[in-house]
Chains A and B, each alone.
Chain A
Amino acid sequence: MKRRVPVSAEKSDSPGRIALRTLVSDKRSWIASIFLIFIAILAIFAPVYAHNIAHTDPFTSSLNATIHLHGKDLPVLEQSTGGLGLGVTPIGPTWNFSKYFLGSDNQGRDVFARLLYGGRNTLMIGSLAALLTIVISIIIGLVAGYWRGFIDSLLSRILDVIWAFPVYLLSISLSVVLLTSGLSLGPIHVGAGSLALPIIIIGLVYVPYVARPIRGQVLALREREFVRAAVGSGAKNSTIIFREILPNVFPSVLVFVPLMIALSMLTESALSFLSIGVQPPAASWGTIINDGLGLLYTRPIVAFAPGFMIVLTAVALNLLGDAVRDALDPKARLRGAL
């Protein structure tokens, strides 16, 4: 017999609790979260792996390094001996965690160790860029939507200008310019090779994509009865914005978070692949794909491994984003069910 939930109990549940319960019961969110936590742990412990297990420095060229494998000392970069003896091939995967698990790149560096370090940078840049996007977008959305008028027009036109450029074109252009000279804004200077540069660039180019929906929502909320009541009761603007409007915008923002992290991560990988994101010898999944490009015929795993990680992480973030959206917006879930 199906258990009936008491009416009083249903009424006592807040929308937040319902959303959380829905999220927890969603298998997609579990799978995605476990995977993301696993990746995050691997990335966090990259130095432990590199220094204590693989005993390697993934940022230093080791072109003359050798490893002891299967009772033999093998060069990490092996000179071809067949035919005319042309070319040098990096060692392939050893499937041994203590030495070149995924093999070596052209510089004799441990690909697996760099993959872990690359994950650190890719996830960090993706997360911080998404955070930057969301913070700026909330501010712009609230200000433009609440005050309307000239401020709204001005901010909206600025967003339109940014939106007019394709994301990748704009981020590539900014990266190329800032990569040579760095970014100087008054007393703040960000060096040309700093990881802060891709964070700032990616964080800015996605602002219109988040700020505009937030602005629209604020515009709608501003006309709702509870906001009018607050205005009528003489509440200050800051009180209305932070206590009445922002809490109602927040669920939408939460939906954006995983999706923006995925988008930012993909953009960072693209920039790094083009050599205008994370700069060598630092690694990101994009730079490792770039490193592997020249080894596609002989050591395809150098390019495929980070590519695979990018795909899995992006899928996990999208699954999590979908689950969060369904949890926070039951109507959307119902629409999906129909």
Chain B
Amino acid sequence: MRRSIAVLALASTLSMGLFATTLASSGAASATGTDAPLAAYDASHAGGTLKLVANAAAGSLDPKINYTAQYWQLYQATYDGLLTFSYGDGKNTFNVVPDLAVALPKISNGGKTLTFTLRKGIKFSTGAAVTVADVKASFERIFKVSSPTAGSFYNGIVGADACLKAPASCKLDKGVVVNAATGSIVINLVSPDDAILSKLAVPHAVINPASAPAKDAGTTIIPTTGAYMFKSYDPNKSLIMVRNPYFKEWNHQAQPSGYPDEIDYSFGLTAEAQVTAVENNQANWMYDPVPADRLNELGTKYAAQVHVNPLTAMWYLPMNVNIAPFNNLKARQAVNYALDRAAMVKIFGGSQLAAPVCSFLPPNFPGHVDYCGYTKGATPAKPAKAWGSADLALAKKLVTESGTAGTAVGVVVSDDEVNKQMGEYVQSVLNAIGYKATLKPISGNIQFTYIQNTKNKVQISVTQWYQDYPAASDFLYVLLGCASFTPGSDSSINMAGYCNKALDAKMKAAILQGTTDPIGANKAWGAIDQAVMADAPVAVAFTPKNLDFISSSTKNYHFSLQYKMFVSQIQLK
């Protein structure tokens, strides 16, 4: 997903375990704590109003529609699925744990059947009991509201294909079989899916009342099961969360009791104003990235209030392999050689907030291999261990050899400060290697979909990818698989338009291998990564870190690698 817009992914509990291990062993875990599970609830710290600030709201509050990191962070404290990602610190936050289900599912029928048992005694914030009928209706609602991941995460459920064709009349009678008497829920899949547990743990699979509208609820509040419920929502002003009066803790790692009595999220402050508000204790936490000119101030005067954590994400430049000049391999490789990744890290805020990379899978990610084929002295065939410096001379030579020198190239970027700076740098690099580059900054609200649509003839762009959950396929198959390229669509996440059928087959094989042999699958992904980057459909620039700035009165900060800061665990007393 992007920082504000997410897309699909795949992962398995096993591969997540491996990922968590590598993350922890690399020392890249949360800078704020260990990999320990969440400590026991301490009621003496409960109370107060947690004040969050952001420049803008994140659209629909409907958990089956919203696909932004901004609200997924809140959903963990409000909604519950059968499964969820664990509370805690570091690697623990990538573990899938039972939530509304009594336990992790019993998997049978060669991985095609998952059997859950619904916990008893759980109520929605309206006081109504959660039933298996709500569970079935919630899965059908994924398709009825055309959830953005309906066709990617949940298309493997038996009956999903018909639901995708006719969402309004969606019935999953064979795909989600429930028994009210025993509380059992059986999910039948068309074929084994190594990532199904993760898919059931993300907010699009949360359980809503069966009476929830069969369309995007927008600003209408849907009852919750978690520690908090939404009290009011005005996207132009604020989002208020209060305690769910019917909530009783059932699994401390899945849905712990929260500390603040109320959580107020205010919208409309610029990032500069957010920093000042947090400095002055007028707000507890700010959502938007800290402006570059305030970073030094925070790092020196407010160091104790700053939390820097690793992200499994990347900033990269998709190059359209179907139109000039990047339909030429040498032209794409030239860009990869020319990019000074250290310079881009500087624009992002320096070496403490990002690290140069040129492999597709981020460091410490399942399948990642330390290599770089596009640094001085290296080639894709003879890669170096890591990126060292740009090779402008080789880049110019490749451009000349490609016969594309002098071509006009438009660089499409989001119009926020950091993206524009990145775009200006890329424009300068492209001009330096022989192109006639122009910068096209467009609103961040539309840039991500604009660069996906082939009708817009975007040649190169600057964008980001944040994992939905930890699996190599979330990066490679999602972003560069043939199935992700849909010409003429705003939802063609394979922005490069890259479709290498041989590599695509290898990716599919690696996904299948992951169900039985995750270690072997990750090795296969590592090889696929290198093979893809030899084709250079993208230029990967750097992997960013997450910076949270909290006020001096804000205590008990915990960071989820999946959902970032746990808002419900903040203590104000």
| A contacts, CB < 8 Å to B | 59-61, 63-64, 77, 79-80, 82-89, 106-107, 180, 192-193, 275, 279-281, 293-299
Contact = CB atoms under 8 A, between A and B. Distances in A.
B292 A85 contact: no
B446 to A, nearest CB: 12
A275 B295 contact: no
Given A83-B300, A83-B303, A275-B420, A63 B295 contact: no
B438 A63 contact: no
Interface stretch (B95-103, B344-352, B530-538): B344-352
B214 interface: no
B242 interface: no
B300 A281 contact: no
B38 to A, nearest CB: 26
Closest 7 A/B residue pairs (Cβ): A87-B295, A86-B299, A83-B300, A63-B343, A84-B299, A61-B428, A87-B296
B interface, by DSSP: helix, strand, loop or mixed?
A: helix
A14 B547 CA distance: 73
Given A86-B349, A293-B417, A281 B292 contact: no
Contact of A86 (B298, B340, B427): B298
Given A80-B299, A80-B300, A85 B424 contact: no
B428 A80 contact: no
B293 interface: yes
Interface string B418-462: 001100110111011000001111000000000000000000000
14 contacts: A60-B431, A60-B432, A61-B425, A63-B346, A64-B343, A86-B296, A86-B350, A87-B294, A87-B296, A89-B293, A275-B420, A281-B427, A294-B291, A296-B293
B308 interface: yes
A181 to B, nearest CB: 11
B293 A79 contact: no
Contacts of A84: 298-300, 303, 306, 308, 352
Nearest to A89: B296
A180 B442 CA distance: 10
B187 to A, nearest CB: 45
B353 A106 contact: no
Nearest to B345: A88
A315 B229 CA distance: 58
B428 A85 contact: no
A77 B346 contact: yes
Given A83-B303, A107-B421, A275-B420, A297 B343 contact: no
B439 A279 contact: yes
Given A86-B547, A281-B424, A61 B296 contact: no
B296 A280 contact: no
A66 to B, nearest CB: 13
Contacts of A83: 296, 299-301, 303
B293 A85 contact: no
The winner among A63, A79, A275 for most chain B CB atoms within 10 A is A63
Nearest to B418: A294
A99 B92 CA distance: 52
Contacts of B432: 60
A87 B349 contact: yes
Given A87-B296, A89-B293, A297-B291, 4 more contacts: A61-B425, A88-B349, A106-B421, A298-B293
A318 B272 CA distance: 35
B157 to A, nearest CB: 42
A279 B436 CA distance: 13
B430 to A, nearest CB: 11
Contacts of B417: 293-294
A234 to B, nearest CB: 58
Contacts of A61: 343, 424-425, 428-429
B42 interface: no
A279 B295 CA distance: 28
B438 A297 contact: no
Nearest to B31: A84
Contacts of B272: 296
Contacts of B441: 275
A297 B270 CA distance: 15
B415 interface: yes
Contacts of B20: none
Contacts of A296: 272, 293
Contacts of A294: 291-293, 417, 421
Interface in B330-367: 340, 342-343, 346-347, 349-353
B299 A87 contact: yes
B296 A298 contact: yes
Contacts of B291: 294, 297
A193 B308 CA distance: 39
A63 B343 CA distance: 6
A274 to B, nearest CB: 10
Nearest to B353: A86
Contacts of A193: 438
Interface string B273-317: 000000000000000000111111111110100101000000000
A88 B438 CA distance: 26
Contact of A295 (B293, B347, B427): B293
Nearest to A75: B346
B451 to A, nearest CB: 14
